Structure 1
Amino acid sequence: MLEMSPDALSVVQGSHSIYIRAESWLDGELLAAEIPINSGGEERDRSAAIPESVRLNVPRRDRGVSWEPIEPDHPLGAFGQQLRIDYGVDMGGHIEWINRGWFLITSSETDGDTVAVQAEGLLTLIDEAKFVGPFQPALGDTLASVSRALVEPALTIAFDGSLVDRPVPQGMQWDTDRLGALREVLGAWPADCRVTEDGFLAIEPLVDTGPPVLSLTDGVGGTVMRWQGGASRDGAFTVVVAQGEDADGGQIQGVAYDDDETSPFRAGGPFSPLPVPHYHQSPLLTTVAQCRTAAATTLRRLRRSASRKLGVSMVPHPGLMTGDVVSATGAGLTSQPCMIEALSLPYTPSEMHLTVRVLNG
């Protein structure tokens, strides 16, 4: 959860006034400090390649200023301009501002008296930057140095200190997809990445637990919880097989079975008496131990889509982020830890919506 004062945390538990502040920056220069906003909102989804997006509706003219992006260096232009979004909470005398992050403007379109602005997460910079020619790691490169070469200077990487770096095998090559290459490196480590509210790319271990940052109770303070349904055998699996190559070019593999007794896809359970595998292949995996770790991590990551999920409607909470753990009481659950997988935060008075994944159940 984003940092907030205890007083602000108590205020956002109930109805409160919303203030949104948007700044526009281009190449380190502040273009506009107070962009007028009529409406808008923020979406985050951990399953998406670019997890964050923002939409803003801005008046075409406000107090004698034109907000129609005619020139390339206009604050709402889509030529490298980035928005910093802050959510303000009225503390009865002053406003406490919570930084929601940085977003790259991808389009601005004028319709009548309104300019519709669309902005995406900063991983867009990596996704757009396809390789001009094949990318090959140099002799002595490691997972960390390759990650830096793929991302910087578009984004600055901050590595978690608990990650253990290791050399990258020679002969690796990626042809076009820079973001895909980064994902493959992280999958083999194993690690995960997220853009922080300060605009850094944090690379850290894949975590599927943690202490709850907030308790949610059905029917209290306007909170409503409903199960999200759906069932399909398409794409289901009971075991993950991670395959790589050893130093002699021989194929190696590691296996991770779904042994969770509460999982409908547990190995040997009623879903199928035979193994139903999902394969993960990467030449970055050079030992059986690495393959086994990658298989277990891939199993945890893929279980996000197969776990039980709740839809939550609630009063907007500007501190919540995807990956946060909340405690849910309602819909048959009692103080059940759940991880936020997606959220929709309005920038004008309205309900906030969460999709939370039930942990350990």
Structure 2
Amino acid sequence: MSTEALAVVQGSHTMQIRAEAWLDGELLAADIPVSGGSEERDRSLAVPESVRLTMPRRDRGTSWEPVEPTHPLASFGQLLRIDYGVDIAGHTEWINRGWFLIVDADTGGDTVTVQADGLLTFIDEAKFSAPFQPASGDTLASVARDLVEPALTVVVDSLVDRAVPQGMQWDTDRLGALREVVNAWPADMRVTEDGYLLLEPLVETGDPVLNLTDGVGGTVIRWQGRTSRDGAFNVVVAQGEDGSGSQIQGVAYDRSPSSPFRVSGPFSPLPVPYPYYSPLLTNVAQCRAAAETTLQRLRRSASRMLTVTMVPHPGLLTGDFITVTGAGLTGALAVIETMSLPYSPGEMSLTVRVLDG
């Protein structure tokens, strides 16, 4: 986003949505008349992104009811590219929100409603028709590409590749196999706005992209009204096998001073372990790294959460770091875990995980 757009979206602004429909690399419709909808993102889901659009059944002499397989809104491989427009002194700056696969379109009365999900849907749907076994000489990166391409192009950034042990096999779940590769690397994965699958190191801190203050710039910060011990762990034990078939393991302890589940804290006088096993782990160093990364992922659901209601900000994505002042916090670092961005005038909501403060 430009500096001008960033300044505009932190207060009330005029917005519009641009949606294009594509099929097999061909543009089917460049200006779908979106009248409303929303975009949802949740990092805890296998397919984190989804959008829901509404549009008139007929507009300017064009029917938007998907009655044919090649219609722009049919669900036979049609992709939507979504851009969020911000009015800046009479011109529109467009912020790309990404690509989404149409999974359902329904006509009711004079309205068409379209559901489109993130591109990992391709991988989630493509169960194995026969057991998948890596070939001799395969690495984590080559296996990830074999699992995903040509549905998505895999980009590996700042990760150290390594060989995959022989004898690995996955029977049915392609996306589950990909997640096992990513977890054992260890790495994080996300689909970029340009439609690539990016594999990169998992980070637990970073520079904030936005400072949120309660009551300023159209924000309201509330504590999330739920707490539970379910799924809370303070130790991760990652196990694998070395070349001789002997069991090996690495352990990671939650020692963060800000974590309510920290070892030796009030949560429990004893360690509460979470077991993780993968045959992709072949030495102790790999086990320790996988344990640390798994512990970071567990914190996503077991940490203190805030619910933020604010003026829509189309530059934000899940995984972005922000600072929060409000709800008893002052400049606390947090990371966005879920978000709901309206595609018509309304409020945006975030769930953010507090990292300190």
TM range (shorter): over 0.9
List aligned pairs for 1:334-345, cutoff 5 A: 334-345=330-341
Root-mean-square deviation (CA, aligned residues, Å) is 0.9
Deviations 1:69-114 (A, max 9, x none): 0000000000000000000011122111111000000000000001
| In structure 1, distance between residues paired with 2:348 and 2:268 | 39
Cα contact 2:233–2:298 (8 A) shared by 1: no
Cα contact 2:232–2:298 (8 A) shared by 1: no
Q: Secondary structure at the match of 1:327?
A: strand
- Aligned residue type for 1:333: L
1:320 aligns to 2:316 (yes or no) = yes
Q: 2:179 corresponds to which residue?
A: 183
Q: 1:65 corresponds to which residue?
A: 62
1:280 aligns to 2:304 (yes or no) = no
Q: Secondary structure at the match of 1:167?
A: coil
Q: 2:213 corresponds to which residue?
A: 217
Q: 1:38 corresponds to which residue?
A: 35
Deviations 1:43-87 (A, max 9, x none): 001111110000001111001111000000000000000000000
* Structure 2 residue corresponding to 1:104, chosen from 77, 101, 105: 101
- Aligned residue type for 1:343: M
Report % sequence identity: 75
| In structure 2, distance between residues paired with 1:231 and 1:326 | 22
1:264 Cα deviation (Å)?
2.1
- Aligned residue type for 1:346: P
| In structure 1, distance between residues paired with 2:25 and 2:185 | 33
* Structure 1 residue corresponding to 2:291, chosen from 274, 289, 295: 295
| In structure 2, distance between residues paired with 1:217 and 1:297 | 30
Q: Secondary structure at the match of 1:78?
A: coil
Deviations 1:269-288 (A, max 9, x none): 33222221100100000001
| In structure 2, distance between residues paired with 1:151 and 1:108 | 26
| In structure 2, distance between residues paired with 1:317 and 1:270 | 38
**TM-score (structure 1 length as normaliser):** 0.97
Give the stretch that moved more between structures: 68-77 or 262-271.
262-271
1:231 Cα deviation (Å)?
2.5
Q: 2:196 corresponds to which residue?
A: 200
Cα contact 2:123–2:175 (8 A) shared by 1: yes
Q: Secondary structure at the match of 1:133?
A: coil
1:346 Cα deviation (Å)?
0.4
List aligned pairs for 1:231-242, cutoff 5 A: 231-242=227-238
| In structure 2, distance between residues paired with 1:62 and 1:269 | 61
Q: 1:7 corresponds to which residue?
A: 4
1:127 aligns to 2:124 (yes or no) = yes
1:233 Cα deviation (Å)?
2.5
1:236 Cα deviation (Å)?
2.2
| In structure 2, distance between residues paired with 1:317 and 1:33 | 24
* Structure 2 residue corresponding to 1:355, chosen from 343, 351, 356: 351
- Aligned residue type for 2:102: I
* Structure 1 residue corresponding to 2:224, chosen from 228, 237, 251: 228
| In structure 2, distance between residues paired with 1:94 and 1:231 | 45
1:49 aligns to 2:49 (yes or no) = no
- Aligned residue type for 2:184: A
1:337 Cα deviation (Å)?
1.2
Alignment size in residue pairs:
357
Deviations 1:16-47 (A, max 9, x none): 11110000000000000000111111000111
| In structure 1, distance between residues paired with 2:258 and 2:35 | 47
* Structure 2 residue corresponding to 1:27, chosen from 9, 15, 24: 24
| In structure 2, distance between residues paired with 1:255 and 1:172 | 23
- Aligned residue type for 1:261: P
- Aligned residue type for 1:93: G
* Structure 2 residue corresponding to 1:83, chosen from 80, 91, 101: 80
Give the stretch that moved more between structures: 102-111 or 296-305.
296-305
1:244 aligns to 2:244 (yes or no) = no
1:359 Cα deviation (Å)?
1.0
| In structure 2, distance between residues paired with 1:143 and 1:319 | 32
| In structure 1, distance between residues paired with 2:125 and 2:138 | 24
